[in-house]
Amino acid sequence: MEMDDHKRRRNMILYVIIALLVYLILNTLLFPNMGQQAQITDVSYSTLLDDLENKEVDRIDYTTGEYDAVYTRKGEADNVAYQTTILPGSEDTLIQLIRDSGAEIDVVVPNNDSSLWTYYLMTLVLPFLIFFLIGWWFNRRMKKASGDDGPSMNFGGGFGGMGGGGLGKSGARKVKSEDVGVTFKDVAGQEEAKESLKEVVDFLENPKRYEAIGARLPRGALLVGPPGTGKTLLAKAVAGEAGVSFFSISGSEFVEMFVGRGAAKVRDLFKQANENAPCIVFIDEIDAVGKRRDQGLSTNDEREQTLNQLLTEMDGFDNHKGIVVLAATNRPDSLDPALLRPGRFDRRIPVELPDLAGRKAILELHAKDVKTQPPIDLSAIARATPGASGADLANIINEGALRAVRMGRSRAMQEDFEESVEVVIAGQQRKSTVLSDHEKQVVSYHEIGHAIVAASMKEGAPVTKITIVPRTSGALGYTMQVEEDEKFLTTRQEALDKLAVYCGGRAAEELIFNEMTTGAANDIEQATKLARNMITRFGMSDEFGMMALGTVQNAYLNQDTSLTCAPGTAEHVDEAVRKLIEDAHSRALQILKENKFKLHELARYLYKKETITGQEFMTLLKRENPLMPPKPQA
């Protein structure tokens, strides 16, 4: 309390100084002549008479009862004046001379020095009082805007509020318990994360059970996972299940350009949490403020002060009141170790991409809000979207509903959702892109090359769709493969088969047209990435064996791999990657040579129809060619 009074006094002094400076500046700019005193020179009465006879007097002021006269001469500055004493009894003669000279005359009646007090009142006291009232009014407005109607007059905060809008306030968005509106029923595909958070909910509902045995609730839980997996939704669901208030703020909102403001926001956030306990405090994208501290040139003092304040507040608050801090990030490797130690964020809850069952549950959850026309097979959509997040799946359902409206139907059908999968993955169809006949033939052979190589693999995923319709993602066509069952492990042979499938398109171009095109750019990129991972991460190389030569950075974002080996070893890695891709290319070329007739037949069929299903492709591929000799029976 003593510190608050000291801060108020300091802020008041600061405000008075600023108001005084503003007044002096305005007084100088707006009233430059206010208070300027004239330069008055005493002269004799005869000098006045001579000036009147020579008609050099411009204006004369005569004070009654004091026989004093002040006059100015023509052609001189306004602040240069002359003063003399008039002889008693000569007033009439003087007035006549003034009239003859053409000068102006003004009679001044003395008011017992009251004009001096009026001057000081108008030029000093009144402007300062106006500035004081303006500052007080702004201070009260800012306090009401921030929800603080207390009696204190924090002039420093009021003056700063005019420019910053309550810079010391956290800005956290508070949602009352009855307005949260989200429970665990609204979260699908994250059963493990929900199980980990149910204990938090139970503590908020029944804290006495844990206190009786001496257990304490973890102060914080860190939700870690890729974007779009439902981390924020899970945090809201915890508040909704427990029936407590929910405070939400982003990590970037703590970092201000003003030194100390971020730490002030942290203090205010935890102050609000204590006043509203039990409650949930959710900090989204905490890596914006919780990055690892170092001594590098990129150090941000303001961010470090904010992080230090956050660490202190998490140590200091009483979690027996039922305050739980939840945070979310997709860059856990960049967080400061002090933030992750026991006593702060005790628990790390993975929120991973959903598996096949999870994807189906998410699709069913979002499909409840969409009118559909049976039959609807969401399992097929789930199998076609491996690696999709919850946000992607919600977007697929919404795109399907939008397509149904565009097609003039009142209910969404299975084909709408299947097309929406392609829209989310490859983009909308580009109707403005018109391929020439030759380019269309090249794309047809390219995609059929992928499909024939994929169909020849024993363990490969079956082909479900082939199209040469350009998409907005830049693809001129694509071949879709969908696994029957979800796989979590990939053997070396399966990886080699996948490499051969990637090389199938380029191999078909070389075999038929004896030429290379830019259409294989994405295939080459994917093949190179897979081959490099086989050698540096998966230990699938005969030369290096089980030796890790690379590490993954940003595992939940772009999954970039950086080499952790000597430059000479890196050259051998590049050579090994080239050899893997070259072997896969030769293998794909050999498969297509053996099925050259089918390659021609299927490419011509795709050229005419532009889009064919996997079933059509397999029927034509397995059909015996009457012009070719029958295959030998085993």
Supply the residues annotated as catalytic. 447
Q: In angstroms, rounded to a whole number, what is the distance separating the alpha carbons of residues 89 and 507?
A: 127
Among 108, 106, 104, 114, CA closest to 66? 108
Q: In angstroms, rounded to a whole number, what is the distance separating the alpha carbons of residues 267 and 135?
A: 26
Cis amide leading into 278 (omega within 30)? yes
Among 246, 313, 241, CA closest to 282? 246
Q: In angstroms, rounded to a whole number, what is the distance separating the alpha carbons of residues 255 and 278?
A: 27
Residue 67, CB-side half-sphere exposure with 13 Å CA sphere:
8
- Residue 503: is it exposed, middle or buried by C-beta count within 10 angstroms (0-12/13-18/19+)? buried
The answer to whether the beta carbons of residues 317 and 353 sit under 8 Å apart is no
Q: Which two tokens stand for residue 505?
A: 């398109």
Amino acid sitting at position 245: S
Q: In angstroms, rounded to a whole number, what is the distance separating the alpha carbons of residues 389 and 189?
A: 10
Q: Which two tokens stand for residue 567?
A: 């430059």
Q: Edge-to-edge, what's the strand order for the sheet holding 220-224?
A: 173-175, 245-250, 279-284, 323-329, 220-224, 345-350
- Angle (deg, nearest 10), helices 437-455 and 614-622: 80
Q: In angstroms, rounded to a whole number, what is the distance separating the alpha carbons of residues 324 and 239?
A: 10
Question: What's the gap between Cα 294 and its chain centre?
Answer: 24
Q: How many other C-beta atoms are found inside a 10 Å radius of the C-beta of residue 20? A: 12
The answer to whether the beta carbons of residues 277 and 267 sit under 8 Å apart is no
Q: In angstroms, rounded to a whole number, what is the distance separating the alpha carbons of residues 145 and 143?
A: 5
> Could you tell me the sign of the dihedral formed by the alpha carbons of 32, 34, 36, 40, in that order?
positive
Cα angle 250, 292, 344 (rounded to 5 degrees) comes to 65
Q: Which two tokens stand for residue 374?
A: 């049976």
Cα angle 385, 395, 478 (rounded to 5 degrees) comes to 45
Q: Which two tokens stand for residue 310?
A: 């956050």
Using the structure block, give the residue that is written with the tokens 């030796």. Answer: 547
Among 83, 85, 84, 78, CA closest to 38? 78
